[in-house]
Amino acid sequence: MITHDVDLAIIGAGPAGMAAAISAKEKGLENILLLERAEYPGGLLHQCIHNGFGLHYFKEDLTGPEYAERFTTQLNEMDLRLSLNTLVTHLNPDRSIVAINPEWGEFEVLPKSVVLAMGCREKSRFAVGIPGSRPAGIFTAGLAQKLVNVDGYMPGEEFVILGSGDIGMIMARRLHLEGANVKAVVEIMPRVGGLVRNEVQCLHDFDIPLLLEHTITEIFGNHRVEGVRIAGVDKDGKVMKETEKDVPCDCLLLSVGLIPENELSIEAGIELDERIGGPIVDEYLQTNIDGIFAAGNVLQVWDLVDNVTLDGVKAGTNAARFAAGELKKQPNEIEVIPGENIRTITPHKIVGSEDVEFALRVQNPIQNAELRIGEKTKKFRVLSPTEVVTVTIKPSEMEACRESGKIEVSCHERKE
Amino acid sequence: MNKEIICIVCPLGCRMDVELDGTEVMAVQGHQCKKGPKHAEKEVSFPGRILTTTIKTDVPEMPLLPIRSNQEIPKDQLMACMKEIAGHPVKRPVKLGEPIIQNILGLGVDMVACRTMQ
Ligand code: SF4
């Protein structure tokens, strides 16, 4: 078996992995290897042909492929080593990696540091438990997106989409533009799961029906999907039988959420945050195994790719600092405690004495919100669960927390 | 005439009740900041969108090339543009940002390549 000794191995060459590689190299790390499963770098950006990427990072409105090419060009210019068609099969607690590709067969990588950048994957029908037979014509929205935007294949003619996450709404528009009949986007919650911008520009613009507080209770068809049963739900999320109606269609798309892809992390013994599904990390994005970092959607499902890039920059920079022996830990850790109205938050603990950037999502939409992180408060006109908020705290603002070993984060409505 | 327009400038997504005289905004209600009425005015006078889609290629490993409009296209012309694009397969090589269809439907807008195709 071939063995590669490297300073940094990065698993996944999507937006997080590419940014990590570039930043680590800029920090002076020479021997970097990017391992990518697909035949090209860039990850999901290639199939996300819509615009809205890069508004924060580049101050420009780019499409997914344009955003990706900025980074792939840089990878080439900086001469970073990229191993494509490469599947990582094992990650061990000592950071060693086993992978396989057509060129080297099965091979081993012995890295000084690792960045996990495997991204996330879509929840499937199994996750939402819709009864019925198993006909052809049921796709996750992201798979349909790849078929339509990359492979040039229309998966059906008449669509129903379950879930109003951004990918679901964007696919509704895309399919409509390609001449398909999108009969409904069905959402169990009283509001859309994605951005308002997408509700307006993907659904309203093309008069695509949006059924809020509805769900799908049955899928019809044996060989091919022939239709679905749609029903309203009450306040407790219970199906109201009397509202059921059957809608013929030959395709059902599921846009019911994303989960960080962490099989390799689990194998290595990396502890995960049960609520988010990603590794437990400190402010350097380091996991419980020294020298293994996590960045992007493998850590938490971000709202914007710009934030994934920034995460990658952070992990790459810190991996380089680790390799150079520069990452310092304080003797007493501070544990981050999510309080009222906080759905997810990273980092989970603070180990150093530098500025800490928190990234969080609230549980429910709040107007005139006040976010409290330890002693510090910050005001927001509005906070929405569809957005990730980032707040930076200085070490001087955490003195008291260092004593108690805890920092609590919560979000309330402001009392004027 | 009254029309509901949802402001998309921030995640609050205010539902605004907009009173119209033809394409002139007479009054706006339901916004929570001054960006709302401004957005309403644009939606009424020029409801334009960036069109992003794909175009067929002659490259078997890359059957589609992603393309976009370099400016907004009037909303009611989007479907017509899609038909126009369907009739134009593209040959390699293509550079990022290269115009693939110039002045589509005489709208003064180019459809440009979103990636390099060697
Ligand atoms: S009107 Fe102001 S507050 Fe309301 S959605 Fe628009 S920008 Fe946000």
Closest chain A residue to B59, measured at CA: A151
- Give chain B's mean pLDDT: 92
Pocket test for ligand 1, best of B4, B5, B10 (most atoms within 8 A of CB): B10
The predicted-structure confidence for A9-27, as pLDDT tens digits, reads as follows 999 999 999 999 999 999 9
Band (pLDDT 50/70/90 cuts) for residue A328 is confident
User: Rounded to a whole number, what is the distance in Å from the CA of A152 to chain B's nearest CA?
Assistant: 6
pLDDT score, position B63: 94
Handedness of CA A29, A33, A36, A42 (dihedral sign): positive
Q: Determine the Cα angle at B78 with ends B41 and B19, to 5°.
A: 25
* Chain A contact for B66 (CB, 8 A cutoff): yes
Q: Is B68 close to A195, i.e. CB distance below 8 A?
A: no
Which residue from A65, A177, A200 is facing B8, i.e. has the nearest CB?
Answer: A200
Contacts of A384 in chain B (CB under 8 A): 11-12
Q: Model ipTM?
A: 0.92
The residue of chain B with its CA nearest to that of A387 is B11
Q: Which of A378, A387, A384 is nearest to A410 (CA)?
A: A378
User: Which residue in B has a C-alpha nearest to residue A381's C-alpha?
Assistant: B12
pLDDT band of A160, cuts 50, 70, 90: very high
Look at the domain A124-256 and name its fold. FAD/NAD(P)-binding domain (3.50.50)
Q: What long-range pairs does A94-100 form, CB within 8 A, spacing at least 24? A: A95/A268, A95/A289, A95/A291, A95/A292, A97/A9, A97/A11, A97/A35, A99/A35
How far is ligand 1, taken at its centre, from the CA of residue A213, in Å? 25
Per-residue burial over A6-30, b if 16 or more Cβ lie within 10 Å, else e, is bbbbbbbbbbbbbbbbbbbbebebe
Q: How many Å lie between the alpha carbon of A403 and the closest alpha carbon of chain B?
A: 38
Looking at the predicted structure, is the pLDDT value of residue A312 above 70? yes
In chain A, the percentage of residues whose pLDDT exceeds 70 is 100
Q: Which amino acid is at B117?
A: M
| Residue B33 parent element (H or E) | none
Kindly report the protein residue whose alpha carbon is nearest to atom 3 of ligand 1.
B32
Q: Which of A9-13, A361-365, A368-372 has the highest mean pLDDT?
A: A9-13
Predicted pLDDT of residue B35: 92
Of A382, A390, A373, the residue nearest A308 (C-alpha): A390
Query: A218 pLDDT band (50/70/90 cuts)?
Result: very high
Select from B31, B34, B39 the residue to mutate for testing ligand 1; criterion: most ligand atoms less than 8 Å from CB: B31
If one compares A383 and A89, the residue with the highest pLDDT of the two is A89
Checking if the pLDDT of A276 tops 90, the result is no
Q: Which of B50, B52, B64 lies closest to A152 in CB terms? A: B64
Mean pLDDT calculated for residue range A393-407? 87
Instruction: Please tell me the predicted confidence (pLDDT) of residue A167.
Output: 93
Cα(B117) to ligand 1 centroid in Å equals 40
Judge if the upstream peptide bond of residue A347 is cis by omega within 30 degrees of 0. Answer: yes
pLDDT at B110 (0 to 100): 97
Give the residue-averaged pLDDT of A81-96.
97
pLDDT of residue A134: 87
Q: How far is the CA of A384 from the centre of ligand 1 (A)?
A: 13
Give residue for tokens 């994605």.
A194
User: How would residue B46 be classed by pLDDT, with cut points 50, 70 and 90?
Assistant: confident
Q: Does A177 touch chain B (CB under 8 A)?
A: yes
- Using an 8 Å CB-CB cutoff, list chain A residues near B68: 49, 51, 63, 66
Domain ranges of chain A: 1-122+257-327, 124-256, 330-416
Per DSSP, the residues of A363-411 read SS-EEEEEEEETTEEEEEEEE-TTS-EEEEE-GGGGHHHHHHTEEEEEE
Count residue pairs from A and B with Cβ separation < 8 A.
72
Give the C-alpha separation, B84 to B103, whole Å: 11
pLDDT at B98: 96
Please state, in angstroms and rounded to a whole number, the distance separating the CA atoms of residues A235 and A224: 33
pLDDT tens-digit readout, A243-264: 999 999 999 999 998 999 999 9
Q: How many Cβ atoms from other residues are within 10 Å of residue A253's Cβ?
A: 29
Q: Is the pLDDT of residue A396 over 90?
A: no
**Residue A267 and residue A263: Cα distance in Å, rounded?**
6
Residues A135-163, mean pLDDT to the nearest whole number? 96
Q: How confident is the model at residue A65 (pLDDT cuts 50, 70, 90)?
A: very high
Each residue's pLDDT tens digit, A193-203: 888 889 999 99
A384 half-sphere exposure, CB direction, 13 A CA radius: 14
| pLDDT at A402 > cutoff 90 | no
- Is residue B66 over pLDDT 70? yes
Q: In the prediction, which pLDDT does A246 show?
A: 97
Q: What's the predicted TM-score (pTM) here? A: 0.92
User: Among partner residues A66, A177, A205, which is closest to B115 by beta-carbon distance?
Assistant: A66
Q: How far is the CA of B32 from the centre of ligand 1 (A)?
A: 5
Who among B12, B49, B54 is closest to A149 (CB)? B54
User: A401 vs A416, which has greater pLDDT?
Assistant: A401
Instruction: Output the average pLDDT for chain A.
Output: 93
Is the per-residue pLDDT at A395 higher than 90? no
- Establish if A387 touches chain B: CB-CB under 8 angstroms: yes
Name the nearest CA neighbour of A171 among B84, B52, B73.
B52
A63 interface with B at CB cutoff 8 Å = yes
Nearest-CA distance from A149 to chain B in Å? 7
- Per residue in A278-309, pLDDT (tens digit) is 999 999 999 999 999 999 999 999 888 999 99
pLDDT over 70 at A107, yes or no: yes
Asked if B11 lies within 8 A of A150 by C-beta distance, the reply is: no
Helical residues (DSSP H) of A42-177, grouped into ranges: 64-77, 125-128, 141-146, 166-177
pLDDT number for residue A416: 63
Read off the DSSP letter of residue B61.
T
Q: What CATH superfamily is the domain B52-113? A: CPE0013-like (3.10.530.10)
Instruction: Pinpoint the residues of chain B covered by CATH 3.10.530.10.
Output: 52-113
* A15 vs A23: CA distance, rounded Å: 12
Q: Which CATH architecture has domain A1-122+257-327?
A: 3-Layer(bba) Sandwich (3.50)
Say whether B114 and A63 touch across the interface (CB within 8 A).
yes
Ligand 1 geometric centre to CA of A385 (Å): 17
